[in-house]
Amino acid sequence: MPKRNDLEQKALHYVVGTGYQGVLQSDLWRELGASSREGSRVSIKLEEKGLIRREKELQEGRWTYRLYPKRLPASIETIVDCPCLLCPDNARCDPTTALSPKSCPKLTDWILNLGKPPAPAATDSEGQTASAPEPSIPEDDSVAESLDT
Ligand code: SF4
């Protein structure tokens, strides 16, 4: 039988890997090769440490728990649409100047909409999905020059 701390680490790692979907307690112990009794002890321990959340769930007529991680590791997908990444003013933006993230409406909107589902695609009068306008690309090097200064 694995040591309890090893089992806690493995269990936590597995639960974190299930993300928002979580995992049934019984499936987790089967996966880790632990007994349900040992598994219950470990999941209670992880919950007491504030590392996971347990929610009661009825499965095939029996009550069990679904385990969710309380924290998920950050991923690149969480910032891929941050307006700063493609902002032409990025090089000049600074919290100590007038052009500042503290007062940027684009950044504020992005932060306020974090976690919300994306807005549905706009449709025209014939029900066709309208495509997003193409970004305008200047013909000259004015943007690049403004970033060099
Ligand atoms: S905070 Fe605003 S102005 Fe500054 S880089 Fe981000 S989007 Fe651009």
**21 Cβ neighbours under 8 A, 6+ residues apart:** none
Minimum CA distance residue for ligand 1 atom 6: 84
For the chain, the average pLDDT equals 82
> Distance from the CA of 102 to the center of ligand 1, in angstroms?
9
State whether the beta carbon of 82 lies less than 6 angstroms from ligand 1: no
Q: Which of 25-29, 59-63, 129-133, 141-145 bottoms out in mean pLDDT, i.e. has the lowest?
A: 141-145
State whether the beta carbon of 101 lies less than 6 angstroms from ligand 1: yes
Cβ atoms 88, 50 nearer than 8 A: no
Spatial CA neighbour of 99 closest among 89, 107, 109 = 89
Predicted structure pTM score:
0.53
pLDDT for res 115: 73
State whether the beta carbon of 107 lies less than 6 angstroms from ligand 1: yes
pLDDT digits (tens, 9 = 90+) for 92-107: 999 999 999 999 999 9
State whether the beta carbon of 83 lies less than 6 angstroms from ligand 1: yes
> Distance from the CA of 96 to the center of ligand 1, in angstroms?
13
149 pLDDT above the threshold of 50: no
Cβ atoms 23, 14 nearer than 8 A: yes
pLDDT digits (tens, 9 = 90+) for 14-72: 999 998 899 999 999 999 998 989 889 999 999 999 999 999 999 889 999 999 999 88
